[in-house]
Amino acid sequence: MSDPIPPLRQTLARIADLRVACGRDPDTCPDVAQLSYDTGVSEEDVRILLEDGEPVPVDPDTRVRDRVRFLYETRTEAGEPHDIHTLAAAIEATPTWTRKLVAGDAKPSIVAGHQLARHYGVAATFLTDSPVDAVNRELQAVVFDLEVEADPERKLKDLGVAHIAGRTAGWDRAGLAEVVKMVADIQAGLNKVTGIVAAQMTAEETP
């Protein structure tokens, strides 16, 4: 089981410390536009959160509908939104209902929500995470990359492969960093499969 994500304020402090360890400017702000794209949170709200503020709250139902619409409008193929029929097939729904879904006039079920997230390649909690949780979730990737850059051997130990970490004396730093990322990708893939199976079992148990 992965460790719980620390609060956003702690994540931002960790990023600043790691930037110092890597010889970078600790005051450099994370990429607001990229965070907005990766989370479905507006750029204005991302800025507010990075400045330790609180965005105007939105009810969970509206948030889910807005995130579905955001995915459809921003994830494109050849510059155009994904074909409705392709999307409908991916979430096992009719094209008519799928049109309502991407227009914000319908809300996905738990199963459809997971299928939608898988289709677009986003986190399983993309549709439901609060703005602070969504931004904090994506910033963990920034923390990870900086931790790898600062001390790749220690990161290998953190990932549970100390037997490899102890045999890296002759490795160059870039090669070691690549190994760390491959190990992390494998773990993330296993976690994703576990999440998909759990969601399917939950759906089957729901009357």
pLDDT tens for 116-160 read 999 999 999 999 999 999 999 999 989 988 888 887 777 677 766
Q: Is residue 146 part of a domain?
A: no
For residue 205, pLDDT over 70 is answered with no
Kindly list the distances between the CA atom of residue 64 and the CA atoms of 21, 39, 52, 167, in Å, as whole numbers in the listed order.
38, 12, 24, 47
H/E stretch holding 76 reads strand 76-77
Q: Cα(172)–Cα(126) distance, rounded to whole angstroms?
A: 37
Same domain for 10 and 100? yes
Same domain for 67 and 1? yes
Same domain for 163 and 200? yes
Q: Is residue 145 part of a domain?
A: no
Q: What is the value of pTM for the model shown?
A: 0.76
Q: Per residue in 9-29, pLDDT tens?
A: 999 999 999 999 888 898 888
**194 in Cβ contact with 114 (< 8 Å):** no
Domain boundary among 140, 167, 196: 140
Question: 202: domain range?
Answer: 151-207
Which residue from 92, 72, 94, 89 is spatially nearest to 81, judged by alpha carbons? 72
Locate 164 and state its tokens: 């490899």
pLDDT band at 195 (very low <50, low <70, confident <90, very high): low
Looking at the structure of the chain, the number of domains it has is 2
Domain boundary among 120, 140, 160: 140
